[in-house]
Amino acid sequence: MRTVDIKEKLVNLAESQMPAAPAIRPATLRRAKRRRAAVAAATSFAVVVAGLGVWAGVDSFSRSRPVPPAAQQGRFETFPLAGREASDLAASGSVAWAAAGETVFRLGDTPATFEIEEPVVDVAADPRGAWVASMRDDDRCDGSLDVLIDCATATRISATGGLERSIPVPRAGGGLAIGNGVVWIGGRTEVVRLNPPDDPFIAPLRDVTRVVDVVTMPGMVFVLAEASGNRADRVLIALEDHRGSEIRRVPLPGALGIAQGLGSLWAWGSRDEVGVLQIEPSSLSTLRIIPLATAREPGAPIVVSSLAFSGTTVYAAALFADEGHVYTVDVTSGDVTGTIAAVAAPVAAAAGTESVWLLHAEPARAARMTIPDPWAAHAPVVSGEMQNVPQRPGLSTPRISWVDRFERAGDELTITFLGGMYPCGMLDHVELWRDGDTVKVLVVVGTRPAPDGNFACKSVGRSRTTVVQLPADWRSLAVDDASRR
């Protein structure tokens, strides 16, 4: 009688259950920044392995092991990465990129590893691959800009699996972002603009002592910086995305990081009411504070480390009482819809097409959870749609649109907004929240490119309408366009 190798059968079963790789499509991109401060209070970590006992990861670029199937919505499947200290995570489409020490791991469809000469501090991703910023451990790199030589390097890794180029930059560690084919890297008191094959362009920032984070949106770059070496004196700076000229700045005391997603700019930090700030990108005005918790145990504050976005959901990775949690927020209402346990304190989070990823440090581990693909629920698009336009969360390049007028009939609110010519300016989603005696309305539009990616957006706007339901107890409240704040 033939002896059955149980371990072999379990491995084969795990591999056969791996989901088929979806086609890479434009999706909300998110660069998750490392947050060492968020895990300073963590005292222990437990390695959670898939029930089948299949350890995932990669030994080298040439010999890889499969990443296990993602756990279904509501639970993360955790697997180890080689190395001790993880630093950053990014995702695009069905692929995630994680950094631990001098190694970058490509996770998802075709796992691989890439060795970088210096410790990687930041990662950003787009459909074409990833950029990573690495920083040499040298005391000179804390000095003035004019004495720095090759302290940091920006490296491009293609989606197909190759180190395309490395570009020396003066400094790194203050954030990394990709937008409109341009890469921005945060230094100490400056941001560096890369537009290969051009030489790096350095844009100094006035009256700052340290750059904390950098994100991009179409036409603009946003920088979180310290103005006096004190976290209470942090500021949010908006720059134009060509030469880095400052447009405006606002105080953002206590902020730990910034992110962009679902058409808005976001920030998080230490506040009396733990939550995240939603910010209007053009004016840098605060739209609302979405609370994650209103009560905390003494000595056990909630510390948010990173945000990820998909459809109309914000995933807030946080540390609470030495335990990792991911809060899910429905942006259409601002309600916290759930709390998902993480194996330990997450240092970064990122969302791809059908997965939310977490990164844990010391030892380096990644975690993955399956989420619904917001594109799958979209109704067929009619090019002439003008009235009662449906919401289609998950469109590319979401942006806030101004509202022309409101019409009320009982609990129904008809919103007339400015959209673009098809296929641009389609309705992504509508956000409603109560602010005192006012209902705030935010309309977000986006695009859905042709399958081959070839399409042109005309700048001519079109008037469109959509209908949303108001809660019955909001009938007496005035309605206001939140984008005009």
Does the pLDDT at position 258 exceed 90? yes
Question: What pLDDT, on a 0 to 100 scale, did the predictor assign at position 442?
Answer: 97
Question: What digits encode the pLDDT tens for the residues 303-322?
Answer: 899 999 999 999 999 987 77
Question: What pLDDT, on a 0 to 100 scale, did the predictor assign at position 197?
Answer: 61
Between 346 and 17, whose confidence is greater? Answer: 346
Question: What pLDDT, on a 0 to 100 scale, did the predictor assign at position 188?
Answer: 86
Cβ proximity of 190 and 202 under 8 Å: yes
Question: What pLDDT, on a 0 to 100 scale, did the predictor assign at position 300?
Answer: 63
Question: What pLDDT, on a 0 to 100 scale, did the predictor assign at position 285?
Answer: 95
Q: Out of 16-20, 72-76, 93-97, which region has the weakest mean confidence (pLDDT)?
A: 16-20
Largest CA distance in the chain: 79
* pLDDT average, residue stretch 402-427: 87
Residue 366 pLDDT class (50, 70, 90 cuts): very high
Question: What pLDDT, on a 0 to 100 scale, did the predictor assign at position 141?
Answer: 66
133: exposed, middle or buried (C-beta count within 10 Å: 0-12, 13-18, 19+)?
Answer: buried
Question: What pLDDT, on a 0 to 100 scale, did the predictor assign at position 169?
Answer: 84
Does the pLDDT at position 14 exceed 50? no
- Using a pLDDT cut of 70, give the percent of the chain over it: 76
Question: What pLDDT, on a 0 to 100 scale, did the predictor assign at position 385?
Answer: 83
Question: What pLDDT, on a 0 to 100 scale, did the predictor assign at position 451?
Answer: 53
Does the pLDDT at position 11 exceed 80? no
Cβ proximity of 70 and 370 under 8 Å: yes
Q: Rounded to the nearest 5°, which phi and psi values hold at 482?
A: -65, -25
| Nearest-angstrom CA–CA distance, 123 and 136 | 16
* pLDDT average, residue stretch 211-237: 92
| Nearest-angstrom CA–CA distance, 475 and 412 | 9
Instruction: Indicate the DSSP class of residue 46.
Output: -
| Nearest-angstrom CA–CA distance, 36 and 256 | 10
Helix (H) or strand (E) holding 321: none
Question: What pLDDT, on a 0 to 100 scale, did the predictor assign at position 200?
Answer: 84
Mind listing the domains of the chain with CATH numbers? 12-374 (2.130.10.10), 382-484 (no CATH)
Question: What pLDDT, on a 0 to 100 scale, did the predictor assign at position 19?
Answer: 31
Does the pLDDT at position 65 exceed 60? no
Tokens of 407: 């019409």
Residue 148 pLDDT class (50, 70, 90 cuts): very low
Cβ proximity of 129 and 95 under 8 Å: no
- Rounding to the nearest 10 degrees, give the CA dihedral for residues 474, 479, 484, 485: -50
Question: What pLDDT, on a 0 to 100 scale, did the predictor assign at position 459?
Answer: 57
Which amino acid is it at 5?
D
Question: What pLDDT, on a 0 to 100 scale, did the predictor assign at position 294?
Answer: 55
Question: What pLDDT, on a 0 to 100 scale, did the predictor assign at position 38?
Answer: 38
Q: Which of 26, 359, 33 is nearest to 176 (CA)?
A: 33
Q: Identify the sign of the CA torsion 99, 113, 159, 199.
A: positive
Q: Out of 29-43, 76-90, 288-302, which region has the weakest mean confidence (pLDDT)?
A: 29-43
Does the pLDDT at position 362 exceed 60? yes
| Nearest-angstrom CA–CA distance, 100 and 35 | 13
Question: What pLDDT, on a 0 to 100 scale, did the predictor assign at position 297?
Answer: 53
Between 482 and 48, whose confidence is greater? Answer: 482
260: exposed, middle or buried (C-beta count within 10 Å: 0-12, 13-18, 19+)?
Answer: buried
Question: What pLDDT, on a 0 to 100 scale, did the predictor assign at position 286?
Answer: 94
Residue 109 pLDDT class (50, 70, 90 cuts): confident
| Nearest-angstrom CA–CA distance, 255 and 267 | 6
| Nearest-angstrom CA–CA distance, 406 and 413 | 7
Instruction: Indicate the DSSP class of residue 232.
Output: G
Tokens of 70: 């993602």
Mean pLDDT rounded to a whole number for the chain:
79
Question: What pLDDT, on a 0 to 100 scale, did the predictor assign at position 228?
Answer: 84
Between 391 and 139, whose confidence is greater? Answer: 391
Q: Which of 114, 158, 105, 115 is nearest to 350 (CA)?
A: 105
Q: Which of 137, 126, 111 is nearest to 176 (CA)?
A: 126
pTM: 0.83
- Contacts of residue 231, defined as CB under 8 A and 6 or more positions apart, other chains included, come to 253, 254, 255, 269, 270
Question: What pLDDT, on a 0 to 100 scale, did the predictor assign at position 448?
Answer: 76
Count of CB atoms situated within 10 Å of the CB of 409: 8
Tokens of 307: 């945000």
* pLDDT average, residue stretch 125-140: 85
Instruction: Indicate the DSSP class of residue 140.
Output: G
Q: Name beta bridge partners: 107.
A: 96
> Reduced to 3 states, what is the DSSP secondary structure of residue 28?
coil
Task: Return the HEC string of 62-105.
Answer: CCEECCCCCECCCCCEEEECCCCCEEEEEEECCEEEEEECCEEE
* pLDDT average, residue stretch 166-190: 88
* pLDDT average, residue stretch 20-34: 30
Between 210 and 138, whose confidence is greater? Answer: 210
Helix (H) or strand (E) holding 274: strand 274-279
Question: What digits encode the pLDDT tens for the residues 367-380?
Answer: 999 998 888 878 77
Does the pLDDT at position 242 exceed 90? no
Q: Out of 158-167, 170-179, 457-466, 469-478, which region has the weakest mean confidence (pLDDT)?
A: 457-466
Residue that is written with structure tokens 């660069």 in the block = 31
Q: Out of 159-168, 275-284, 287-296, which region has the weakest mean confidence (pLDDT)?
A: 287-296
Question: What digits encode the pLDDT tens for the residues 443-481?
Answer: 999 887 655 555 566 656 788 999 999 999 998 999 999
Tokens of 126: 């787009």
- Using a pLDDT cut of 90, give the percent of the chain over it: 51
| Nearest-angstrom CA–CA distance, 457 and 420 | 8
